[in-house]
Amino acid sequence: MGAGALSRDDQNDCRVRITGLVTALRSEAACVSPGRIPFNQPASLNEQTLLWLSGMGAQSARAAAQGLQQHGVTALVSFGVAGALSDRLKPGDLVLPDAIHAGELLPIDRGWRDRLQQQLPSTITIVNGLLADSNVPLTNEKAKRDLARASGAIAVDMESAAIAQVAAVAGIPFIAVRAIIDPVHFSPPQALLSAVNPDGGVKPVHLTALLLKRSVRLGTLLEMGAGMREARKTLSRVIEAAGTGLASQD
């Protein structure tokens, strides 16, 4: 056998796909694995899956995707929640996008996306379309509707575009799996952002101060909590149906 030839075992190894999932929030990561996930470092879920809890925003997501690639993943997934840009979407609906809109259209692996979609139960409302990128949280309905008109997208998040860009440069498959957390007419208020850690955890002292000052209403927090429960329920059902590797990529 020549020096450049591969043994049968080596050839099999070359066909093994290792999936890397990027989640921004700890509550999203908990839908993938019940264990304590370390922040901003890879967590091995099994021989074929790594998870990286990155924190919010494009810079954190890009670093996570690049880190996963350096740890040998051969496919990337943006996994988590998204805000609705369309009136037809409600909390708990699942967006499996056709592409990511970030000024340019960033591709997803549609074959992989379609196979995943076929594996999911019919009780999950699944919507395809464009997922828009935003470099800041959208905290009011007008900002959402403006982005919807400009992009033609049905939902928005802050991380998928960065992960898609890393996958495109690396030439590896990419999909986004995003459950709606807030409808188009409701958004987390700007004041609340100061009471949230990068991984989505709440700063109790800051939050209490906002409530006492009436900068944030209790009803707003209850509505946000209800939306997150619906989104997490959907994300957990996706993992139950398709596994942490999110079904076959071939």
pTM: 0.87
Res 16: pLDDT = 63
Q: What's the pLDDT tens digit per position in 236-247?
A: 999 999 998 887
CA 100 – CA 244 distance, rounded (Å): 22
pLDDT at 10 over 70: no
Res 206: pLDDT = 76
- Kindly state the average pLDDT of the residues 27-41: 92
Higher pLDDT among residues 30 and 9, named by residue: 30
Nearest-10 Cα torsion for 223, 227, 232, 233: 100
Count of alpha carbons within 13 angstroms of residue 169, beta-carbon side: 10
Higher pLDDT among residues 188 and 141, named by residue: 141
Q: What's the pLDDT tens digit per position in 37-71?
A: 999 999 999 989 999 999 999 999 999 999 999 99
- Kindly state the average pLDDT of the residues 225-231: 92
Count of alpha carbons within 13 angstroms of residue 45, beta-carbon side: 26
pLDDT at 12 over 50: no
Per the CB < 8 A criterion, the answer to whether 133 and 150 are in contact is no
